[in-house]
Structures are given as structure tokens and as C-alpha cells.
Structure 1
Amino acid sequence: MEGIKKKYSMTEEMFKNAIGKEGFTIAEYKKKLADQIAISRIVEHEVKSKILITDNELDQYLSENKEIRKESDGFNISHVFFRKADNRQQVEAKAMDIYKKIKAGGNFSDTARQYSEDASAQSGGSLGFIKKSDMSKEFLDVLSKMKDGDVSEPFWSGNGIHILRLNERKEFKNPQELKEAVRQKLMDDKFIKEYRSWIKGLRERAYVEIKL
């Protein structure tokens, strides 16, 4: 918490008031942070640490996707995502409220972990590097107006509402940079797949234990 106060130049009183507005006491906020850290460490140990992209996998992907060498421009992005619902206005209001929290100084990654309705929430909303040719028009229209570090206002795609953070605009200058970006993309893809499988396994084991 000292790091948070230092980062946003907050006094102890300002910090207490800020978390009070969120409905937390100091003790409750400490527990929330501890729970988030514990969950992140478990995911790191059980999922991320076991993900490996071999050189053979990387070479095979590059061989099967030769166009990526020509279409190497893209974006490293994170998002907070809200699924479609029957009450469209309610989803929009919720997204705008979260956007305002971020703009008021809230940590984007922590906010994504807490509120995002997407598997990427556990990695702080990170979607990694995505090339332009893989992005929808809605994403490209928003990102074209952003600079590194910017956070977008909520916007709709075909799946729901997104709040984007542009971590970095990528333009690869040599083959090694491109290979490392592809490696990260494959790791991100594998993480989402393995994370969903891990969660499914936990639910199945919990169901068996309850029945027993």
C-alpha cells in the first residue's frame, strides 16, 4: 500500500478516504490485496510456469504464417471487458464507472483483475501483442487515436464493451524482434487455453468432493 500512496502522491488521510469511497476499511483493503496477490501466485505456479514455447513450435508457426513477416505492425494492449447483457444501458453505465475509476488514478491491471469478465483478467487484462490484421475495425478505430499508455473510453465490439490500454505500439525492425513477439503471442494463447482447462479441472474436482 505504501507503493500505491507514493505512486499517486497520496497522504495517509487521502488514501483512507479513497478506499473508504470504495467501501473498504484499511484492514479489508489489505485483505483484498493479499487475496489478489495469492491468486496471482497460484496462477503463476499452476499455469504460467508450466507454459513453454519451443523453437520448433515457433518455427512451425512462422512457416505456416508467412504473411506475419509482412504484417508485423500491431499493438500490445490490455483491456477490461464486459459481456453483452439484456440491459445494454446497465452494462454501459458499469463500464463508464470503471473507466472513471481508472482515470482517477486506479491501477489498470488491478481493476481488470477485479472487474473484467474475460479470461485475461487473471493476467491484469493483458492481451499481449496483436497484429493489425487480426484486429476488428472497432479496435483499430480506437487504437489509431491513442498513444502509448493511453486508456480508451468504453466502446462496443461484437462481443461486449471494452476499455483498452495501449501498452505499446509495435513496429518490428528485425527478424529477432518479430520472433520474440510471436513467441509471446503463442505463450498468451497457450496461457488462456491452459487457464481455462485448469479452472475446469478445479470445478470438476470440487463437484466430485461435494458429491462425496
Structure 2
Amino acid sequence: MSEHLAVAVVNGKEITRGDIMKFLNDMGPQMAMQFQSPEGINRVIDEMVNQELLYLDAVENNFEKEEEFDQVLQATKVSLLKGYAFNKLISGVTVDEEELKMYFNDNKHLFNQPEMVKASHILVADENRAMEIVDELEGGMDFEDAARSYSSCPSSEVGGALGEFGRGQMVPEFEEAAFNMELGEISAPVKTQFGYHIIRLEERKEAKDASFDDSREEVEKQVILRKQEAKYMEKINSLKDVYKVEIK
């Protein structure tokens, strides 16, 4: 279907399918997901019609001639111009393969894969209650069901899943237990400042040295960012020789 196809007309101005797509893209992916259904698209069309009506009313009432609007317009222009100048400055930054490999070799430790585990847990306030839940699990109760029914952690909504984490990301008692468990093992209650955790180890990834090929995408991001920052500061320092700066 053509993006130029009109989905609504307000006072002679067409709102097209392309306008709808741009409206959704400007929302960002997470927000736009809420409007992907036919009903959601209709809500977007209604809102775009509403905004166009509001714009026509503003023009009719000469809002653009008001002093307050001019102040907002000038502030918006300044903000946009700053962003445009920054993007224009860094847009030409590129890197070659030799730069990437040199950066990787000098910073290889940053890309090494540390030991990681994936775990789920059930969190309760009382040790006796934790022991009762362990007994239920040993009796065959499903761990995810137990987490949804008993856990006070927000992760209960996803069956207690905590996702993947490395050392230093959890409180010490929890980390010590999780990294010393066998796959599929369910722990005895582990006490932390938050209460008593029943942990199940889902997955383990051993530490692994990075390779350039596996790390190339992240290396490129970091090198480009560093070059952009350097170019930005070089420009700023040169401008300080042109314009007077006082910091009070």
C-alpha cells in the first residue's frame, strides 16, 4: 500500500499513510508497539486529526504572533541548532579496519566474556516459610508456579526469572550461592538483606577470551564514539579561542 495514500483529510489537507508511519516512528519502538493493531492505527489517525484541528485553530487565532509563542519558538530554534551543529560535526567520523584491530588488541580485556549465570528465585520474608516452599518444590511443585504464587519479588510475574548476570551484580550472599550451584539445582534458603531466596540455576556460561570477529561490532561503536568525542572537544577548544568564556 502506498505511503502517499490518504487516510484522512482535514480542511483540504491530506493525512497520509506515510504521515502515520512517521508519527509512530517518532514515538519510539516501545510506545509504537501499543498502536500496531487496526484499532491502534485508528486511534493514531484520530489523534493526528485532532492535532491538525488544533493547529488550524491556532493559526486562525494568530497564536504565532503572540510574544510568548515567539519566546518558545526562539528557544526551540536554539536547541535544534545546537543539535544540528553537533550532528553535523560528528557525521563525517569514520574508522578503518586497522584502527579497529589496534583498539581491540590494546583493550582486549574489555571484551572478554566473564563467567555468567542465569537464575530464577523465589523471595520470601520468613525462613520457615522458605523451608515450606522448598518442601513443596521437592514434592513436585513447579518452580515458576511457586514463584508466581509465593515470591514477593517483581520477578514473580515471570516465574522468578532474573535473567543473566555476572559477578558483582547481585548481593554477595546471593552471588556466592548462584555461582556455586549445579545446573537445575534448587538451593536451600539463602538469607540476604532482602529476605530469604530459593534459587534455581538455569544456565552457566564459562569465562571466554574475546575474538576480534565476535567483538567487532562493539569495538566499532567504541572507537567511533571515542573519535566523535575527540572531534567534539577539539572543536570546543578551538571555539574557546574565538568566544569569551567565563565560568563563575
TM-score, with structure 2 as normaliser: 0.39
Per chain length, whose mean CA-contact separation is higher, i.e. which structure has more relative contact order (CA < 8 Å, sep 6+)? 1
Greater helix fraction, Structure 1 or Structure 2? 1
Which protein has the larger Cα radius of gyration, Structure 1 or Structure 2? 2
